[in-house]
Every structure is written in structure tokens, then in C-alpha cells.
Amino acid sequence: MNVLGVVMSVRDLKPCLYWIDQITFIDKLVIKNYSHDDAHKIARDFFLEHKEYTHFLFLSEDIIATPCHVSLIIDDARRFPNSVVCGLSNVDFNNNVTNISFRNMYNIVVRDRSVYRHPKPEDLILGQKGFPFIKVWFQGNTLACYPRKVVEKLSFKPYHYHSESSALRYFGYKRKHGMMFDFQMCRELHELKVPIICDLRVFVMHFKILLGSFKFADKPRTVTLIRRNGKKEVIREDPPYVDHIKVTVPTRKGKVSREEWRRFIEKYFLGLH
């Protein structure tokens, strides 16, 4: 079993990056300052081209995932060779829910998070749904590990797009920006009849969105392969998407409240309004 850990990063969340650096027993592909659309395509293409890798592992840039968590997931992938295995996290710090769902949403148009019916932590950690393994319909790619034969059949495409105007407003460049890649992958897994097994022992902390941390369009882009022996190999380098990023926030004159910031992020980044 040869796992490739994939980090898609546009931020520098120090505690998260620290723990990613401690994961030294697998190769890691670090895709830095690319849009989610480009990053998913780069990751999929690299993985499929390098047939020495048997499994694709999401190492999200905004979670605290320790080497022990990753080791558990790799063991799970051995235990369930025909499934996608994953961990779980909090959705954010404001809502007491997790980023998984038992609800079959294949035939539902998802426009906001209320549709997911995320279970609360207390509904899971006491074992009412089973322990340590539970079967879920949706998972947010928290340490999700995909076998090669499954990756080959997945599109790695988004479910929905931000408008060009919202991308320009927040990211600084005018182009469609994909979102909800995890949801689309779960839809495709449903079509393929591939089970999703969540390991409740792998419950990690998720930082979600930190305001102002997505300003990456003026930064150089790189793709680096970090071997398990520590050797780094620059696979690709690209110039910034734009030479200068300018973010303007539509708001009333005067001080911006926390609620206005929240609604701005949900509307123009998450598309929830």
C-alpha cells in the first residue's frame, strides 16, 4: 500500500501546517496558491500519472490531523479495500454539528447547509450510531482516503460555482470558482455504489474560514512533492493569477460588524444566500 497525501493550500494556518509536517511516513503533494478547481485537477492528474501510488489521501490545510490520525485511516483503508474511508470534524465553531451526513441527498438540490442534517457530536461519540465505524452518505473529505480504482472513475469536479463577480470581489480575479467538491464526489460515489466508512476515532478540529486568509491570487503558485525521506521536488511553478489583489466589501458606511462579515463570507464565498 502506497498512499499519496495531497495538501491543497491557499492559507498559512500555522498549527495545521505544523502537524502536516509531522506526517513523514507517506509522500505528500503540496499544491500551493491554486484555485480549488485547478488544485483538484492537478492532484488527480498527478495521482493517475504516478501509478506507484495505490491510495489518494486528502490532507486538508485547515484541520489538526496528527500522524496517529493518518495511521488509523491508512489501517482503515486496508480493512475496507472497496470503500472510501474518512474521519470527521466540526463544521465550524458556531454550530454544534459534524461534517458528515446519513441523508441521501442525491436527488436533492443543495442550496444551503440546512439540507445536510449534520449529526451533532453527542449523537456520535456515545456510540448510538455504532463505533468506531459508521456508514455515511456524505463526508467532507476529512482525511478521506480513496483507492486508485475509485479515483480513476471520479471527475474531481465541483457541484456548484461562485459567480464571476463574487470571485472577483473576494479572490481578486474574474473567473468561475468551483465549490462543494466533496459533495459532488459523494454524489459520484453513490452512482458507483462505493460505500463511505467514517472512523469516529478520527475526530479532528476544523478551523473553517479565517477572514482575510484567502488572499492568494497575487502569490506565486507551486506544486511540490515531498518524499517520505524528506526530499523535496518542485513539480510545477506558475506565476500569480493576478499581479495585485484588491478586495472590496459591500457594506454600509462605517465600521463593519462581525455579523456583516459573516453574511458577506456566506454570500460571496459559500453561496448560501
Asked if 99 and 91 count as a contact pair (C-beta separation under 8 A), the reply is yes
Asked whether the predicted pLDDT for residue 255 surpasses 60, the reply is no
**Tens digit of each residue's pLDDT (9 = 90 or more) over 143-157:** 999 999 999 999 999
The chain-wide mean pLDDT, for the chain, equals: 87
Just give the CATH number of 3-247: 3.90.550.40
Nearest alpha-carbon partner for 213 in 139, 140, 155, 265: 265
Predicted model pTM: 0.85
Query: H-helix or E-strand containing 63?
Result: strand 63-64
- Each domain of the chain, given as residue ranges in start order, spans 3-247
